[in-house]
Amino acid sequence: MNRTTSDRGRDRDEEGRARSARPRDGLGRPLPYGAEGVPRQPEGVVRDPDATLREAQRLLDAGMPFHAHEVFEDAWKSGPEAERDLWQGLAQLAVGLTHAARGNAAGGARLLRRGADRLADVAGAGAS
């Protein structure tokens, strides 16, 4: 994907969507251009549910919850509508872990609760 820099200094793709080309650390924080960062998760990867869970768990085990969130995000964008809340809930848990690891305990707790609530709704819907 080609990226361009807008007149406001933000990286954009051909359609004008924000796409940061800056390197990132293991928690997804942007680093200065030219710094060595952690390889980014490729966007738009379609995996089956087992592969999604394996890859996300590998990233969580490596201390990279931001990257695990991106794996779950791919699943909710490419999977069936009926699974969307499941993947979004898991992504919210990963983002909550990311915020907590970055030192934002309040934001992390809020996202962990939101993700847990979404997953509880999914579990409740499956019980009907």
Return the CATH number at 118. 1.10.3450
pLDDT at 21: 76
Looking at the 3D structure of the chain, how many domains does it have? 2
Spatial contact of 9 and 22, defined as CB atoms under 8 Å apart: no
pLDDT at 7: 47
**Buried b / exposed e across 2-11, counting CB within 10 Å, b at 16+?**
eeeeeeeeee
50 and 17 in one domain?
no
53 and 19 in one domain?
no
86 and 26 in one domain?
no
46 and 29 in one domain?
no
More confident residue, 41 or 71: 71
Task: For residue 79, give the nearest of 121, 115, 56, 46 by alpha carbon.
Answer: 46
Question: Helix (H, G, I), strand (E, B), or coil: what is residue 4?
Answer: strand
Q: Please give the mean pLDDT across all residues of the chain.
A: 87
pLDDT at 10: 63
85 and 71 in one domain?
yes
100-107 mean pLDDT? 96
pTM given for the model: 0.79
Spatial contact of 47 and 55, defined as CB atoms under 8 Å apart: yes
48-64 mean pLDDT? 96
pLDDT at 55: 97
pLDDT at 12: 65
pLDDT at 4: 47
Domain that holds residue 96: 42-128
49 and 32 in one domain?
no
49 and 25 in one domain?
no
Helices (H), 1-128: 49-61, 65-78, 84-101, 105-126
100 and 48 in one domain?
yes
128 and 66 in one domain?
yes
Dist. CA 37–CA 28, nearest whole Å: 9
55 and 25 in one domain?
no
31 and 81 in one domain?
no
